[in-house]
Structure 1
Amino acid sequence: MRVAVILCLIVGSVLAQKSGKYDHVDVDAILKNNRVLTQYIKCMLGEASCTAEGRELKKVLPDALRTNCAKCDEKEKSTAEKVINHLKNNRPNEWKRLIAKYDPHGEYEKRFATSAKH
């Protein structure tokens, strides 16, 4: 279940932000387009330039991880779950690399596992 914590904002805060700034982004289209999805992944890994959305995501992701996605609304959480499931099922190598970069010590996974039990 660490996935909800680790990538809560990969789509949650950026692609479905409460501000409505990115409400126009079609997450399903991104997930279906390997080229675009790969660019987002490379952006998050620091291997390629980022779009405005990617830069914003990289800026807010640390806070989302620290706060267990406290600022995420239900739409953001649902969208994040969709992205996470897609990455785990269809891009497992990239998923592992994202986890290694954003939760190298498993601290967010542990926190989420503890809060999920309650």
Structure 2
Amino acid sequence: MGYKHLIVGLWCLLALEFAVALSDKYSSRYDNIDLDAILRNNRALNGIIKCILEKGPCSPEGRELKTDLPDALRTECAKCTDAQKRLIRKASRYLMENRANDWKEITNKYDPDRQFSDSFQRFLKSDALL
């Protein structure tokens, strides 16, 4: 009887560890969002930018982005799914190239001392997942 309890206990421990490992990632709810459509739609993009800069209301997507952004910046997106890493790289590059003033405001808000600038630039240049 003790052997069966040990096996059941091990399975429960493994299941718990698996659940904890899964929770170490941000929600994948928006991983399949059509980023190209948002980037082409100034109204939608402006809304998200205003949300993360706390200059306007937030959609559920914007609210989640605003919540996760500081941690993602500090950790080089360690909790991001592969899809989120691709989306963040693409959106960041787009903003840098096409909306430099918005990028500067976002950077000033979330990294005013530029302490994460080098690590985030390395993350952006990493094309391993593109």
Indicate how the Cα distance of structure 1 residues 48 and 71 shifts in structure 2: closer, same or farther if over 3 A, else same: same
1:73 aligns with 2:81: yes
Higher Cα Rg, which structure? 2
How far apart, in 2, do the equivalents of 1:114 and 1:49 lie?
31
**Corresponding position of 1:59:** 67
Aligned ranges for residues 1-118 of structure 1 at < 5 Å?
Answer: 19-112=27-120
TM-fit CA distance, 1:108? 0.6
Indicate how the Cα distance of structure 1 residues 69 and 20 shifts in structure 2: closer, same or farther if over 3 A, else same: closer
Indicate how the Cα distance of structure 1 residues 57 and 110 shifts in structure 2: closer, same or farther if over 3 A, else same: same
SS at match of 2:116: helix
**Corresponding position of 1:13:** none
How far apart, in 2, do the equivalents of 1:82 and 1:71 lie?
17
**AA paired with 2:88?**
A
Indicate how the Cα distance of structure 1 residues 55 and 112 shifts in structure 2: closer, same or farther if over 3 A, else same: closer
**AA paired with 1:85?**
R
Q: TM-score scaled to structure 2, two decimals?
A: 0.67
Q: What is the identity percentage for the equivalent residue pairs of Structure 1 and Structure 2? A: 47
RMSD between superposed Cα atoms in Å: 2.3
Contact 2:38 2:44 in 1 (8 A): yes
What count of residue pairs does the alignment treat as equivalent? 100
* Structure 2 spans left out of the alignment, 5+ residues: 1-24, 126-130
CA-to-aligned-CA distance 1:56-88 (integer Å, 9 cap, x gap)? 111112221222211123322121111011111
**AA paired with 1:28?**
D
User: Which protein has the bigger helix share?
Assistant: 2
Contact 2:32 2:83 in 1 (8 A): no
Q: Which has the higher contact order (CA 8 A, sep 6+)?
A: 1
Q: TM-score scaled to structure 1, two decimals?
A: 0.73
* Structure 1 spans left out of the alignment, 5+ residues: 1-16
